[in-house]
Chain A
Amino acid sequence: MTTISRRAFLASAAAASASTLFPTSLLAASKDLVVGTWGGTFGDLLKENVDKPILTPAGYNVLQEISGPVPRRTKLISERLQRKGSMDAALLADFDMHAAAKVGALYELDTSNVPNTANILPFLKKKNSVPLIYSAHAIVYRKDLIKTPPASIAELWNPKYKGKIGLSDFLYTTNMAYAAVGNGGKLTDMDAAKKGVEAWKELDVKLLPSTEAVGNALASGDIWMTIISAARGYSWNKKGTDLGWVVSEEGAFPAVYEAAVPKNARNPEAGFAYMNALLTPSAQKAFAERLGYLPTVSNGSISPELEKQIGFTEAEQNRLWIPDLDFIMENQSSMLDTWNRVLKG
């Protein structure tokens, strides 16, 4: 395979990082810590529960570099040949982080540089990243409108819900995994996935532009059922929408968000300190209480009441799918293409 030349890569990286390179270089000092992350509630939660209580007292000046996940992944990949990158820590979904790890852009993380990795739940352990939070993309439904919980994935194609199923356009990877399994295939069966998406079109599925739009549509009764993280179901429930969620008999797509330190971080020690801070029980508890995502560490205890609301039984946990991250990385572009052609074409 002919990969892109060094010169072209440098040009690419320069274009990709132009907006952040200069501010970062101007601001960079020994204790500055640049974190590539999502903004909004999530960014605020990091500030309140990780930056202020843990890293600021340790002398770090945390700067959030807010962007979408794909541009962040692109930066990690395109900047990896530069001597200094624009981030000291980066947060991404597991399948996006996988691509960055695959090209060798990330440090290895273990107890020598991040002591709290010792507490990571075994099934979430990775060589180049730490798990920040996890949940599952489950079937979330309006309990007051659907009296019998949709136990099977087949309910997502039940004609009686025509026009009442809504899907997030952003979660096309998850939605296509559901479509593949729900139409007789395995997670990687793209023909079955296409069949499922076509059947959704026949059922007048509502395609919604953002997670917030899904929440609003559920609240207004525009849609009765969707595929979204159980954590979202929990937080919308808290806001007053009568929602339930199920890990179907056929399983559910895990939602794992991770953090990592780029090999070309300006301040890798700060990056490691950030990883450690993310795994502290207090931060993990805050993520659970505010977002409804489960702790990723064995010492991140939450109250039994909360555990009951956001947790999964052992049987449910065992039903969670194990996605082939290499397959997703290789096929994400064609998956989006199929998704768009069927539902938007």
Chain B
Amino acid sequence: MAKLVFPANFLVLILLGVPMLLMARYSLNEYDPLYLMKEAFTFENYARAVVDTYYQKILLTTIVVALSCTVLTTLLAYGPAYWLARMESSWKSKLTILTMFPLLVGGVVRSAGYIALLSTDGLINASLQGLGIISKPLQLLYTPGAVIFATVGIVLPYMILTLASVIESIPRQVEDAGANLGAHPATVFYRILLPLSLPGLLAGASLVFILCMNAYATPLLIGGPQFQMMAPVVYEQFARTSNWPFGAALAFILLIFTIVLTTAGSYMISKKYTGD
């Protein structure tokens, strides 16, 4: 039976493991403006990224945006996910497909849509000016709020679908039993539904958090050049200065923080609600 996983593992090893090993090696090299890099074995790139307050700030911004998006997405997704999971009409499959629909459109295209919505001559500003509510356009685009708004819009379907599939597997009778015994709906949610849907919540939150930590197109297009998050900064090191060693080190720092924060978050939430 174990042999069956070999092809998949082999593919992962080749397509993910080997490039990552190569990047790990590059991260220990030294940058050279003429030859791109010099062979070395130094942790200087990591030290520079960790000690430098400029990169600390970018990492912090990334974490704050990712956490904010995860919390907002969870709050916004739980209701629709519950509603979708408990739906029994023929609309259920149609609404599920509709929820998935935004995922069929690429992130760049969706970001272009948000630009049309949020820019100074975009739909929101034009409407507000047309109604006489504002005289000068509001600066909506190229702000942290716009990045969070657009990112939540992009990751929301992941959370709704993950949560809905788990809530669907929770027997409705357990909620009814709680209500029959006199529990307030809020108590039913907090004491029964939330702990039982925790696996879906953790899976969805982890997925959303990872996507947000590594968001590239949205911060770049919606945040503008002055809003800095890690993925665009990593790309910048490769694509604008050819500094592969430092870019690789930044990429690994992002990877490490994403893994550590996702694991720690899942562990803490799981501990709080299940005591495991």
Where the two chains meet, the residues of A that have a C-beta atom closer than 8 Å to any C-beta of B are: 1-5, 8, 11-12, 15, 68, 70-71, 73-74, 77-78, 99, 102-103, 169, 207-209, 220, 222, 329-333, 336, 340-341, 343-345
B171 at the interface (CB under 8 A from A): no
B226 contacts chain A at the CB level, 8 A cutoff? yes
17 pairs from A and B in contact (CB 8 Å cutoff): A1-B38, A2-B38, A3-B35, A3-B38, A4-B29, A4-B39, A8-B29, A74-B242, A77-B36, A99-B33, A220-B120, A329-B34, A333-B243, A343-B226, A344-B226, A344-B228, A345-B57
Give the shortest distance, in Å, between A15 (CB) and chain B (any CB): 6
Q: Is the CB of A336 within 8 A of B241?
A: yes
Alpha-carbon separation in the docked complex, A99 to B32 (Å) = 12
Q: How far is the CB of A147 from chain B (nearest CB, A)?
A: 23
**Main SS of chain A's interface residues?**
helix
CB pair B35–A332 under 8 Å, yes or no, is no
Question: What bracket does the count of chain B residues touching chain A fall in?
Answer: 20 to 34
Using Cβ atoms and an 8 Å threshold, which residues of chain B touch A73? 242
* Contact across chains for B241 and A102 when beta carbons are under 8 A apart: no
Residues of B within 8 Å of A340, CB to CB, are 54, 228
Q: Of residues 27 to 47 in B, which have CB atoms within 8 Å of A's CB atoms?
A: 29, 31-40
A102 touches B242 (CB 8 A): no
Q: How far is the CA of A332 from the CA of B26 in the complex (A)?
A: 20
Asked if B241 and A4 make an inter-chain contact with CB atoms under 8 angstroms apart, the answer reads no
Question: Which residue in chain B gives the minimum CB-CB distance to A18?
Answer: B19
B22 lies within 8 A of A15 (CB): yes
Known: A4-B39, A102-B34, A220-B121. A70 touches B240 (CB 8 A): yes
Chain A residues within 8 Å of B226, by CB: 207, 343-344
Q: Report the separation of the CA atoms of residues A187 and B26 in the bound assembly, to the nearest whole angstrom.
A: 33
Q: Does B159 contact A (CB under 8 A)?
A: no
**CB–CB B224/A209 < 8 A:** yes
CA distance A336 to B241 in the complex (A): 8
Contacts of A8 in B (CB 8 A): 25, 29, 39
Closest to B37 in A: A4
Task: Flag if B33 contacts A332 (CB, 8 Å).
Answer: yes
